[in-house]
Structure 1
Amino acid sequence: MIAARRPAYLSDLADGTERFFEARRETCPWCTSAKPFKVVLRTSDVIQHKPGRFVLESCTDCGHVFQNPRLNAEGLEFYYRDFYDGLGEQDMNSTLQFNRSGHEGRARMVLASAGTPQQWLDVGTGHGHFPQDAKTVLPETEFDGLDMTEGVLLGQQEGRIRKAYHGNFVELADEIAGQYDVISMYHYLEHTLDPGAEIAAARRALPAGGYLSIELPDPECAWNRLLGRWWTPWLQPQHLHMMPIANLRARLTDLGFTVVAEQRAEPHIATDAVNAALLLVNAATISGEDLAWRAAPPSRLRKALRKAAFLVSLPVVVSALLVDRLVAPIGRKRGMSNTYRVLARRTS
């Protein structure tokens, strides 16, 4: 399959990566401030290792972190290709299955504040693993899913969701208005071109008294300063926006929501150090990986050296895992939680 995809990738890259980006922004996409931005990160793609350089900047007025210049539609298609579907489908499917406790935690947060919902729409559901796991907490709730990728169709085929919407949430919001007690956006808004428009669409889709549940990577997490470009939640070039929790809270209030619950420590996923270690080893040995966006596969020697390097690095990876486990109990309550959740009720 890799060899079959190589010609298309090489054709896409024949003129370089410049065409994948929009013009650089001079105003903040969240608050429209025109004050000079602060560079937060300059990086390459440290996960798929597709060509390109990416910059994250923060607004000096509101603290919003955003990709600048941002990927355009062609760029998004290129960098998402074979990540969640295609070549990356099996690996992503396996990865998402390991966050069952986090998925159940999301459901319990809603249950505690909103009771048992009847109809729940999970926006950005991917392959539908969250609804599947949430059923253990909310067995009477019916879960539907929406996603831009074809993974949502797989989720329906596998029985993880009742109904699949394959498309753009902002465009579908009016069509599904009033159907759901809860709409969730878990690790979704950071991928979107306009998070504010997505939240506004959720308000249109929810009935009065309905709930919007959001989970996001926390750009104020101390791990990102310690690990730099190896902090996985940066996820460049996919993450276009990173919202401080205060910004999200204020926007929800402006749109007629009342925030009823917040979690900063509980959603923490204790994998910062171990993921950074794995990314470093992967980057150091990537010449031994067969990638469809490279002109030719690696030699047998490079493949063998890559496997050997991963074996040799196992003690480092295990040590990093222990660091995560030791730091998490205290660190997650002292600015080292990498994730936050907000639950808001539409009140106007």
Structure 2
Amino acid sequence: MAASHAWYAREVAAGVDRFLEPSRADCPWCGSSTLAVLLRTGDRFQGKPGRFTLAECRGCGHVFQNPRLTPEGLSFYYRDFYDGHGEALWDFNFRQMSSSYRGRARLFERHGGTPGVWLDVGAGHGHFCGFARRHWPQTVFHGLDQGAGIDKALRQGWIDRAYRGSFVDLSEGLPGRYDVVSMHHYLEHTRDPFAELDAAVRVLAPGGHLLIEVPDPQWSAARLMGRYWLSWSQPQHQHLIPVGNLVQALAARGLVTVEVERGAAHAWGGELCSVLYFGCLRAVPGAPWKPRRARWLRRALWPFLLVPAALALPAAMLFDRLLVAVARRSDRGNAFRLLARKAD
């Protein structure tokens, strides 16, 4: 913790504006210049310093971070998020997602039968692969991620092979190798979704399937919640892609969309619970990027924040459960998943 405090103090003192690229005047998806500011917000998860803007294209509906973070900026804001100080927190969260894992498996099973060799891109700590290999014990699972969690997944036996690094770079050496490629809540984190889709096509065998799950920026409740919607996820999320745009991009690469799930893919991230949860998390007094001068005050106020949050939690959980039921009945939720097939 002491080393982390020193590192963050140096980085913050140098200024965080250096982590942002110049703003762009056109949509990175369709090239349209009809852009509008959707929202401005800070770091909604960790409370690290910085302000971020999401722009929306009036032409195609694509939502993107503008200006976007540089690679160095992404490293700064991802540090201690999934790994390091944040590892235990996200490991707990990923273990609560068995219903989402089951839904992904069922979608593939309806159209793909039993998979042979499966590559999970953005595998994180390997929780989905750990679930899926119990469902398909004969399938070989490989995982790819840039974080250290992928090595842990290999040690735990959840995957048979770990790749650590850039998918676009690593795909050059894996042409036509996989029967299935999955990207679960991965594309929204990438700097260039088109390059990631090209890489997926490259590593898929003829007749192979691509399974994608991403947040749905067209969900009406997301607009009502504004910056408090969990899946805007600034500053980590770079692109939020409407389903029609993704289907078109896949078709342009020779992939035929087999099925799209919307309401069924609704992720119980707990929309109201998340507001409470991450609001408390941002106030954690021991976070190494917090200014030292404010730490004693945070320690004093911390218990007074937890008590009202705990009292409000049952009502928030009930609301979130009702939201899940409405989303699945209306077939519109906070995420969508899509299965596409590469031509033979």
TM-score, normalised with respect to structure 2: 0.96
Quick check: 1:326 aligned with 2:329?
A: no
Which residue, out of 290, 297, 302, partners 1:294? 290
Aligned length, in residue pairs? 343
2:272–2:317 contact (8 Å) kept in structure 1: yes
Give the whole-Å Cα distance in 1 for the aligned partners of 2:60 and 2:190.
19
Further displaced range: 304-313 or 207-216: 304-313
Q: Indicate whether 1:309 and 2:305 are aligned.
A: yes
Code of the residue aligned with 1:279 in structure 2: it is F
Judge conservation of contact 2:264–2:331 (CA < 8 Å) in 1.
no
1:104–1:136 CA contact under 8 A, matched in 2: no
Instruction: Supply the distance in 2 between the matched residues of 1:235 and 1:299 (Cα, whole angstroms).
Output: 25
- 1:341 corresponds to which residue? 337
Shift of residue 301, structure 1, vs aligned partner: 5.9
The one-letter amino acid of 1:257's match is L
CA shift, 1:300, in A, is 5.3
Asked if the contact 2:120–2:181 (Cα under 8 Å) also holds between the matched residues in 1, the reply is yes
Whether the 8 Å CA contact 1:22–1:70 is kept in 2: the answer is yes
State the partner residue of 1:185: 183
* SS of residue paired to 1:62: coil
DSSP-derived class of the 1:120 partner: strand
Tell me the C-alpha RMSD between the 2 structures. Answer: 1.6
User: Is the 1:220–1:335 Cα contact (8 Å) retained in structure 2?
Assistant: no
Secondary structure of the corresponding residue to residue 93 of structure 2: helix
The one-letter code sitting in structure 1 at the alignment partner of 2:86 is G
Shift of 1:234: 0.7
Residue among 42, 48, 61 paired with 1:63: 61
Q: 2:92 aligns with which of 74, 91, 94?
A: 94
Alpha-carbon distance in 1 for matches of 2:339, 2:42:
34
Alignment of 1:73-112 (within 5 A): 73-112=71-110
Q: What are the equivalent positions in structure 2 for 1:2-151 lying under 5 Å apart? A: 3-35=2-34, 37-151=35-149
- Segments of structure 1 that go 5 or more residues without pairing to the other structure are none
Match of residue 163 from structure 1: 161
The residue number in structure 2 matching 1:205 is: 203
SS in 1 for 2:129: helix
Identity %: 43
Matching residue's letter, 1:313: A
3-state SS of paired residue (2:227): helix
1:62 and 1:247 in contact (8 A); partners too? yes
Query: Distance in 2 between the 1:322 and 1:122 partners?
Result: 33
Could you give the per-residue CA deviations for residues 14-40 of structure 1, whole angstroms, max 9, x where no partner exists?
1211110111111111111122x1111
Matches within 5 A, 1:183-332: 183-270=181-268, 271-282=270-281, 286=283, 289-296=285-292, 302-332=298-328
Secondary structure in 2 matching 1:276: helix
Counterpart of 1:51, as a letter, is P
Task: Encode CA deviations 1:256-314: one digit per residue, 9 max, x unaligned.
Answer: 0000111001111231121123334555xx2x522211331755563242123212222
Once the two structures are TM-superposed, the CA of residue 331 in structure 1 deviates from its matched residue by 3.0
Q: CA deviation at 1:335?
A: 6.5
Give the helix-richer structure, 1 or 2: 2
SS at 2:291 equivalent: coil
The amino acid across from 1:13 in the alignment is V
Q: Residue type of the partner of 2:341?
A: R
1:163 shift after superposition: 0.3
Secondary structure of the 2:173 match is: coil
Q: Could you say what secondary structure the match of 2:54 adopts?
A: strand
Equivalent AA in structure 2 for residue 341 of structure 1: R
